[in-house]
Chain A
Amino acid sequence: MLKFQTVRVGSGGPIPCVHCGGSAEPVSHIPAAEVIEGIREAAAQKDPTGFNLILGGTDAFGHQELPALVNAAVLEGVARLAVETDGGALGVGGNAGGALHAGVRHVRVTVIDLNRAVSGVTAWIEAAAGVDAHVVATAVIPVCAHNVAALSQSVAALAEAGVAGITLDATDATPSAAVSAHIVAACDTGTVNGVWVDVSGSEGLLPASHLLHRLEEGAAR
């Protein structure tokens, strides 16, 4: 299926769950020239579907020179350009419309705070409604013991906001029958709401009935 190449614009950001603890890695950004070099290298290795790129590693909207990075990707002939965000920046000012205008067609929202993610997706979809362009919003939910019981509600809220696909990143989830049941329910909530949900880091978490939801190897979201 579609393969996206990730070019990092920086690293760090808030921890996925305050209850799980851990310390936030400070945000740092890679200089634009270095990122642009990475974009050029990525452009040389095209997928059959074209040059598909994610600007990620941290919230891309935090990079002061994001417009120049997007412009560089466009000049390199990017077909599908995605940016990683937690959604907060999409609701600010004209960010969503600006990104769209510049050539961004995919946003990949990491769900740290559900309300922020939903507002960001909503802003993105609203901005796209005014222009003649096909866009997509996807979401990644890092699954932990503190949000697993609410996964179905999160999926439903994101579906209502307009996401097309959601990845449940279960890498740090402790396997148990209860966790498995919540993940299955979240997958089913997606299906009945017309949103595809797949699960990564899911060895043993998905029952045989739901194996279709296992994230395809190499797929980027």
Chain B
Amino acid sequence: MTFDSSNPMRTVLVGLNSPGYQSLALGYLRAYAQADSRLAGRVAFQTLDLTVEVDPWWVAYRVLALDPDLVAISMTCWNARSAHEFCRIVKQARPQTLIVMGGPEVGPIAEDVLRAHREVDMVVRGEGEQTFSELLYAITRGRRVEHVEGVSARMVDGSIVSAPDRALIADLDSIPSPYLTGVMSPVDGGAYIETYRGCPHNCGYCFEGKGYARIRRFSETRVAQEIDLLASTSGVHSFSFIDPVFNLTPERLRWLSERLAPHAARGMRLHTVEVDIERIDDEQAGLLVAAGVASVETGPQSIGAAALAECKRGFDKERFMNGVAALKRAGIVVECDLIVGLPGDTVEDFFSGIEFCMDLDPGIIQTSTLHVLPGTDLYERAGELGLRFDPEPPHEIVSTRTIGYNDLRRAEVRAVFLQRQYRARI
């Protein structure tokens, strides 16, 4: 089937987000595709930014009400179960609707996803913007989707075919800004700006450093325009940055701080940005304050030597402590994150980590359970490391060589208790 201006392909982009947030990923996909002149008039877009709490049957209801020819979903480990369920319902109700998935939950295991979920027609692997546009172009012209770089697809005979990977987008500014193009309207507290992709670190449990190892930046002009737009949007009093490390370089932090300072002086706040705390000193803390940063999120994730080595994470205790102290002096709340279930960590290591963080009195201590995510180093080395995890999303750790199933559950419960106790203060 082909589509044209008299019969545009009704394309519904579905985000199942945390409450209060919008999907920036879908914003990018749509902004990129809408700017593609080859698709003009042939594709009609609609975005449904819902929350992961919405019952999948009601998601299907909302989607089906739009009579979609194609449904695209941004998949994370958190929304994958709901997303698969609503897609199954959509496919049953409207078998001709094409279901396209993308995102870190499905890209690295595209063929497995297609094999396990018969309702899924195609998976976009890796960075999605260009691939999704090319895919739409191929579909609207009746071309073979299995030839589109970065796509894995189910063929009519049931076989699954993957085209070669697509190279990363060299010039990030070629992706139109969802905010500046009006594709997304910023909401208070739920809007994020991305200033670069990739991460200087390579933590074993994370997709960011491995998936996009090279750092690519949006231009300062583009970032400045987005900041000004968000900060001047009526009703928006806070937003944040999705960057893995807000203080990527001292120069970049200074530049961001100077751009944000006029807005911060008028009361705009940045909620929780992630920082490399071991590089924070009083000067950097001052720049964060000037930028309107009220709280930061950081590791250490673990202080156990074996876990740090397996996860390729550095940890300099002194520098970490100095960073927290500098932020506290500046009045910034620090959220220290720890993960239970990392390879090599014992229960004692995990609780020593909590004790270490408590002694720093950072403001917030947040513990979470390891999720062995597709595409990460730990996912690939799970057998070698003795990690047993739920193959279904969100891929929670079941047991490790050093912590059994029951003790992991006990450690989770005790950690939550300790966090609550810590947080209950005047």
- A: residues with CB less than 8 A from B are 1-2, 48-50, 74, 78-81, 103, 105-106, 133-136, 138, 164-165, 190-191, 194-196, 209, 212-213
Contact = CB atoms under 8 A, between A and B. Distances in A.
Size category of the binding interface on chain B:
20 to 34
A195 B425 contact: no
Contact of A136 (B354, B361, B424): B424
Contacts of B351: 1
B322 to A, nearest CB: 15
Contact of A191 (B355, B410, B421): B410
Q: What are the 8 closest A-B residue pairs judged by CB atoms, nearest first?
A: A196-B417, A48-B359, A136-B424, A105-B424, A134-B423, A165-B417, A134-B424, A196-B414
B407 interface: yes
Interface string B409-425: 11101101110111111
Contact of B358 (A48, A134, A212, A213): A48
Given A105-B426, A195-B413, 20 more contacts: A1-B355, A1-B358, A2-B421, A48-B358, A48-B361, A49-B361, A50-B361, A78-B426, A79-B425, A105-B424, A133-B424, A134-B424, A164-B416, A164-B417, A165-B421, A194-B416, A195-B417, A196-B414, A196-B416, A212-B414
Contacts of A213: 410
A2 B422 contact: yes
B410 A80 contact: no
B294 interface: no
Interface in B82-128: none
Interface string B384-413: 000000000000000000000011011101
A98 to B, nearest CB: 15
20 contacts: A1-B354, A2-B421, A48-B358, A48-B361, A49-B422, A80-B425, A80-B426, A134-B420, A134-B425, A136-B421, A164-B416, A164-B417, A165-B421, A190-B413, A191-B409, A191-B413, A196-B414, A196-B418, A212-B411, A212-B414
Nearest to A196: B417
Contacts of A103: 426
B347 A212 contact: yes
A2 B417 contact: no
A176 B351 CA distance: 30
Contacts, number: 70
A212 B410 contact: yes
Main SS of chain B's interface residues? helix
A110 to B, nearest CB: 17
Contacts of B418: 1-2, 196
A133 B422 CA distance: 13
B360 interface: yes
Contacts of A136: 420-421, 424
Nearest to A79: B425
Contacts of B414: 196, 212
Given A1-B354, A1-B355, A48-B359, A80 B424 contact: yes
A48 B411 contact: no
A209 B406 contact: yes
A105 B422 CA distance: 11
Contacts of B355: 1
Nearest to B362: A49
B95 to A, nearest CB: 42
Contacts of B409: 191
Contacts of B424: 80, 105-106, 133-136
A40 B180 CA distance: 58
Nearest to B406: A209
